Amino acid sequence: MAIGDSRAFVPGGGSLLTVGEVAAAMRVSSMTVYRLIKGGELAAVRVGHNYRIREGDVERYLTERSVHVEGA
């Protein structure tokens, strides 16, 4: 983790990201991220009234849904 980086380090899971950070990285709305969490498609940790998502869980979610297009 770089100096000045506000993300929290989680052993074995990379960093903890906010819903807003995940939404920005995936280029979707925060509501979409909340739906993925509520639907059990994206793992998250509840901290108070907020969710935090492990960087590794975001990577896993995206990898599981990646599509290989032949002939492209």
CATH, residue 38: 1.10.1660.10
Q: Which domain holds residue 37?
A: 8-64
13-34 pLDDT per residue, tens: 579 999 999 999 999 999 999 9
- What integer pLDDT is reported at residue 3 of this predicted model? 42
Distances (CA, A) of 21 to 11, 38, 67, 71, 72: 19, 17, 23, 34, 31
CA angle 17, 60, 50 (to 5 degrees): 30
Question: Does residue 12 contact residue 54 with C-beta atoms inside 8 Å?
Answer: no
Cut 0.85: pTM above it? no
57 in any annotated domain: yes
Q: Is residue 72 domain-resident?
A: no
Number of domains in the chain: 1
Q: If 0-12 CB within 10 Å is exposed, 13-18 middle and 19+ buried, where does residue 26 land?
A: middle
The answer to whether position 27 is within a domain reads yes
